[in-house]
Every structure is written in C-alpha cells, then in structure tokens.
Copies of this chain bind each other. A is one copy, B any other.
Amino acid sequence: MIKIDDTREIIISVADRLFSRFGFHKTSMDEIAKIARKAKGSIYYHFPSKEDLFREVVLKEISQLKNVSSLVLQNQIISSSDKLKEYVLTRMSVMELSLNYHETLKADFFEHYKFVDDLRNEFDAWDRTNLKNIINQGITDGEFSININIDILADVLIMILKGLEIPFFVQNRYKDYSTHFNDMFVILTRGLSK
C-alpha cells in the first residue's frame, strides 16, 4: 500500500543498473526515463541533475560498503593479523559488487566532477583509519613486531589496495587476480608477525 518514494526508488534502481552497465557518460537520461517508464521530466522532479542522480546511486553503494566492513571491525575475538586479512578481503569482495563505485574509479571523472572526488576521499579516509587502527591494535596487543615502520607499512598497504581496485573491478580481473591475493598478503606481511 505504501507507495511513498515509489517512483524515486524505481528511478534510482534503473539508473543504478544502467550506470553500472554502460557508465555515466554512455547512459542518457532519455534511456533511464524510457526503461523506468517515466517521463524524463519526472526524473528531474526527483533529482536536480544527472550528476545528482548518479551521486545518489553511488552514495548507496558506499554506505553498504561501510556497513559490511564494519561488521569485521567490530569482531573482538579474532587476532589482529586475522582481522587485517579479513578486513581487506571483505572490503575487496564487497567492492566487487559495487558496480557504480567502479564508475567513480574511472579516471576522467576525477577531472570534472568534484562531488565524486569528495565521496571517494571521504571513503578513503575512513578506510585508512580502519587499517591503521587494526595495525596499531596489533602492536598494543604485542601481536605485531616493529621490525618495520608501521606507518610505512600501512601507507604501502593502502597504496597497493587502492591501486588494485581498478584492475580488480573496473577491468574485471577480480577472478583472475584473487588467486594471487592471498600470496600477496603473505608477501606483504612477511616479517610483520613475531
């Protein structure tokens, strides 16, 4: 019975599908309207512009990304070493499904659409905080040695993870590469644990 925001949801849903499939530029408002069986004007009633519609779609995905990742972070039982691995794996596998987040990874976006940049920077900061927290907790608990500068390790880890997002998700090599993922993790953290 409750039909509030019905149209709005339909539009977001259709836009979600199309943006993730064809990308921001190749998806026209015309097509979204047509597939949603709504008038083009109706889209503009709910969303001020194409960019705003896209932002809405991405916001949803980032929100979900955070929610799932948070579950891992709250786990009090597992060791820091396992938590680090678990966090990264979860992060990557959930991200695989965030089709429109991939779109924001597309580089030519960064040049012209500040709002996307903002969204990503905010998420990146959140991500970085989590990783550093896990590592620092590991040190506090005496689980990680400090033969290696922890800050540097964190920075390198983040740099690599962010780098892998493109080949993994945008270039659809997640499956090809995921076999190497564990190995990489071993190599990177070798010497980390005492």
Majority SS at the chain A contact face = helix
- When the two chains form their complex, are residues A187 and B25 in contact, meaning their CB atoms are under 8 A apart? no
> Does A125 count as interface, using CB distance less than 8 angstroms?
no
> Does A188 count as interface, using CB distance less than 8 angstroms?
yes
Considering only residues 141-159 of chain A, those with a C-beta below 8 Å from chain B are: 148-149, 152-153, 155-156, 159
Cα distance A184–B107 in the bound complex, in angstroms: 24
- When the two chains form their complex, are residues B148 and A160 in contact, meaning their CB atoms are under 8 A apart? no
> Does A5 count as interface, using CB distance less than 8 angstroms?
no
- When the two chains form their complex, are residues A180 and B152 in contact, meaning their CB atoms are under 8 A apart? yes
With A25-B25, A105-B107, A108-B23 as contacts: A163 and B167 at CB distance below 8 Å: yes
Which residues of the other chain, B, contact A184 by a CB distance below 8 angstroms?
156, 159-160
Cα distance A32–B56 in the bound complex, in angstroms: 27
> Does A194 count as interface, using CB distance less than 8 angstroms?
no
Say how many copies of this protein the assembly contains: 4
Beta-carbon contacts of A157-171 to B below 8 Å, as 1s and 0s?
A: 001101111111011
Q: Return the chain B residue nearest A188 by Cβ.
A: B187
- When the two chains form their complex, are residues A180 and B156 in contact, meaning their CB atoms are under 8 A apart? yes
Which residues of the other chain, B, contact A171 by a CB distance below 8 angstroms?
107, 110
Binding site for B on A (CB under 8 A): 22-23, 25-26, 102, 105-108, 110-112, 148-149, 152-153, 155-156, 159-160, 162-168, 170-171, 177, 180, 183-184, 187-188, 190-191
Contacts A107-B171, A159-B180 aside, 15 further interface pairs with beta carbons under 8 A come to A22-B111, A25-B25, A26-B108, A102-B107, A105-B166, A106-B106, A107-B107, A155-B183, A156-B180, A159-B177, A160-B164, A160-B184, A163-B164, A163-B166, A190-B191
